[in-house]
């Protein structure tokens, strides 16, 4: 039985979030993107007396924050050992400090709201390869000053054996939409104007400041903060430095008598699994399971990933029934650390936050702290390494490899045999066809026919059907489009052109 498909448990149980009707003509700071980074930055700046406009192309929490698994944890899978390996110990310590400040700031705002539940966090392995990752992560945690406990085989509250694990007490699981509701409410109390369905389109420099162009008019401002996940303005070719990673998440009802695990968990095996609990619409406890990330647009049949998530859950938790499923993506910078700082041009007046690599509950807030500091001319000391977009020698190697892969996919996209897809129940079918020199993406979903260009409006990748989510996804840099061609997310700024004549 599948209910509420493609709607995260957090959206299904979100408190109402109020917004404003009018875009003001002037402001001190415009913050584009009302996910966690944007909402936190708006609150910080407005509470210090700045006039702030927070705008979103869709709605508050419409993208990754509203679809996260939302563990607010300093224990983060393989993250710290990866940072220790590259860029190195100084960046590792700065990262740990940034994340720890962010955790404290957010918890202070959420006290007594019910949006946060304290939990013990575990990183675990079920085999030899994972054991080695746990060992390396334990070393990095010690260098980062985290008080972790290391376990061999033993019970960490899961119904299957683990071969080793790390434990860190007093971490949290969040209801991310309740978090946003609280931050937005507080920001509005401090005068922030929140405008939804208002896409940032461009920014122009003037002697006195900036003119910010949006889908609903212009705003004059002194600063612009891009908190749009993938940066909405990309002067620095960030698309070549950011790798998207998409993931399916399911919420499951456990059979009567089966207790849900009490902690928050992430495995470091080859296929990672993320586990936590959440409350369903009726207040019942559900198990939330995520994992097995992939590059959007590169999987020929995404439905199989969702099936695999169900299969794994039904083996680990026999009798579990999926009640919700959804998917989301986040981005990783080629230099291995998040970016939080000024982008090129604009005399430092345009700032951006990105590359949280699925640890944005802390990093988005750290970015807000750093960018609010930059906007006031006094960023915190720990923020310096995160304003650096240089990739280093090894990062450059990885970038070259990834861009060569992209170049290869440009060619295979154009020479790929025509592909067609059909849902098992016949409710959707899609295909990419060639009409002369044109590539056309045709779909029929629940009886609605659409025919649009099959060529991504970012840099020309040939799109692929995402059978589970019923979208057209780009294998080059991860842009996604609805069947009717509307941009959903990623670096693309323009919708796909209609091509007419769907069959």
Question: Where do contacts with ligand FAD occur on this chain (CB under 6 A)?
Answer: 32-38, 55-58, 62-65, 68-71, 199-200, 227-229, 232, 247, 249, 290, 328-330, 356, 358-362, 364
Look at residue 32 and give the partner it binds from ligand FAD, ligand FES, none, a contact being a CB closer than 5 to 8 Å depending on partner kind. Answer: ligand FAD
The residues, ordered by sequence, that sit 6+ positions from 224 with a Cβ below 8 Å of its Cβ are 29, 30, 31, 32, 200, 203, 210, 212, 346, 349, 350, 351
Nearer to ligand FAD (CB atom), residue 183 or residue 451: 183
Provide the minimum distance between the beta carbon of 63 and ligand FES in the complex, in angstroms, as a whole number. 16
Provide the minimum distance between the beta carbon of 58 and ligand FAD in the complex, in angstroms, as a whole number. 4
Nearer to ligand FAD (CB atom), residue 266 or residue 454: 266
Provide the minimum distance between the beta carbon of 206 and ligand FAD in the complex, in angstroms, as a whole number. 20
Alpha carbon distances (Å) from 240 to 91, 245, 404, 490 = 22, 14, 11, 12
Provide the minimum distance between the beta carbon of 277 and ligand FES in the complex, in angstroms, as a whole number. 35
Tokens at 122, concatenated:
């575990």
Nearer to ligand FES (CB atom), residue 60 or residue 476: 476
Look at residue 199 and give the partner it binds from ligand FES, ligand FAD, none, a contact being a CB closer than 5 to 8 Å depending on partner kind. Answer: ligand FAD
Nearer to ligand FAD (CB atom), residue 116 or residue 330: 330
Provide the minimum distance between the beta carbon of 498 and ligand FES in the complex, in angstroms, as a whole number. 18
The label of the residue with tokens 């208002």 reads: 198
Look at residue 477 and give the partner it binds from ligand FES, ligand FAD, none, a contact being a CB closer than 5 to 8 Å depending on partner kind. Answer: ligand FES
Interface contacts to ligand FES, rule CB under 6 A:
239, 456, 458-461, 474, 476-479, 490-492
Query: How would you class 58 by CB atoms within 10 Å of its CB: exposed for 0-12, middle for 13-18, buried for 19 or more?
Result: middle
Tokens at 365, concatenated:
């807030």
Nearer to ligand FES (CB atom), residue 341 or residue 478: 478
CA–CA separation, 466 and 328 (whole Å): 13
Nearer to ligand FES (CB atom), residue 101 or residue 477: 477
> Is residue 461 within a helix (H) or strand (E), and if so which, with residue range?
none
> Is residue 80 within a helix (H) or strand (E), and if so which, with residue range?
helix 79-85
Q: Are 337 and 384 in contact (CB under 8 A)?
A: no
Which among 290, 280, 248 is positioned nearest to 468, based on CA atoms? 248
Look at residue 360 and give the partner it binds from ligand FES, ligand FAD, none, a contact being a CB closer than 5 to 8 Å depending on partner kind. Answer: ligand FAD
Provide the minimum distance between the beta carbon of 390 and ligand FES in the complex, in angstroms, as a whole number. 22
Name the phi and psi angles at 386, rounded to 5: -90, -5
- Closest residue to ligand FAD, based on beta-carbon distance: 360
Look at residue 64 and give the partner it binds from ligand FAD, ligand FES, none, a contact being a CB closer than 5 to 8 Å depending on partner kind. Answer: ligand FAD
Q: Are 192 and 158 in contact (CB under 8 A)?
A: no
Nearer to ligand FAD (CB atom), residue 64 or residue 466: 64
Nearer to ligand FES (CB atom), residue 39 or residue 474: 474
Strands (E), 255-412: 264-267, 273-279, 285-294, 321-333, 339-342, 350-354
Look at residue 70 and give the partner it binds from ligand FES, ligand FAD, none, a contact being a CB closer than 5 to 8 Å depending on partner kind. Answer: ligand FAD
Alpha carbon distances (Å) from 204 to 31, 210, 232 = 15, 6, 14
């Amino acid at each position: 039985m599948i209910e509420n498909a493609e709607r995260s448990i957090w959206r299904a149980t979100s408190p109402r979030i109020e917004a404003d009707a009018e875009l003001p003509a002037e402001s001190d700071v415009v913050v584009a993107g009302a996910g966690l980074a944007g909402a936190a930055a708006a609150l910080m700046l407005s509470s210090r007396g700045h006039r702030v406009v927070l705008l979103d192309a869709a709605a508050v929490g419409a993208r990754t924050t509203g679809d996260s698994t939302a563990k607010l944890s300093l224990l983060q899978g393989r993250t710290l050992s990866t940072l220790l390996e590259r860029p190195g110990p100084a960046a590792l310590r700065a990262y740990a400090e940034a994340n720890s400040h962010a955790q404290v700031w957010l918890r202070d705002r959420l006290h007594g709201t019910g949006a946060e539940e304290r939990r013990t966090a575990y990183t675990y392995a079920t085999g030899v390869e994972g054991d080695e990752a746990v060992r390396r992560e334990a070393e990095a945690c010690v260098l980062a000053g985290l008080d972790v406990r290391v376990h061999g085989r033993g019970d960490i509250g899961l119904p299957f054996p683990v071969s080793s694990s790390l434990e860190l007490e007093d971490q949290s699981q969040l209801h991310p939409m309740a978090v946003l509701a609280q931050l937005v409410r507080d920001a509005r109390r401090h005068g922030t104007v929140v405008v939804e369905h208002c896409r940032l389109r461009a920014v122009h420099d003037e002697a006195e400041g900036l003119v910010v162009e949006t889908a609903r008019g212009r705003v004059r401002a002194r600063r612009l903060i891009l908190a749009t996940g993938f940066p909405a303005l990309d002067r620095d070719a960030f698309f070549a430095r950011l790798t998207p990673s998409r993931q399916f998440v399911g919420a499951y009802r456990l059979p009567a008598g089966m207790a849900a695990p009490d902690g928050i968990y992430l495995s470091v095996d080859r296929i990672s699994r993320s586990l936590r609990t959440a409350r369903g619409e009726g207040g019942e406890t559900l198990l939330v399971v995520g994992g097995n990330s992939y590059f959007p647009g590169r999987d020929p049949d995404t439905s199989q990933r969702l099936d695999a998530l169900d299969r794994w859950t039904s083996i680990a938790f026999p009798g579990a029934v999926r009640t919700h499923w959804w998917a989301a993506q986040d981005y990783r910078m080629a230099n291995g650390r998040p970016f939080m700082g000024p982008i090129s041009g604009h005399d430092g007046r345009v700032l951006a936050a990105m590359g949280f690599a699925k640890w944005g509950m802390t990093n988005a807030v750290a970015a807000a702290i750093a960018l609010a500091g930059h906007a006031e001319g006094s960023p915190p000391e720990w923020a310096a390494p995160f304003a650096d977009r240089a990739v280093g020698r090894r990062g450059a190697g990885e970038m070259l490899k990834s861009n060569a892969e992209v170049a290869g996919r440009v060619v295979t996209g154009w020479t790929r045999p025509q592909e067609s897809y059909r849902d098992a129940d016949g409710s959707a079918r899609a295909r990419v066809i060639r009409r002369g020199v044109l590539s056309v993406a045709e779909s029929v979903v629940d009886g609605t026919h659409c025919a649009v260009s099959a060529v991504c409006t970012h840099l020309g990748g040939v799109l692929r059907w995402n059978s589970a989510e019923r979208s057209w996804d780009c294998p080059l840099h991860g842009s996604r489009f609805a069947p009717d061609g509307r941009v959903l997310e990623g670096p693309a700024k323009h919708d796909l052109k209609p091509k007419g004549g769907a069959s």
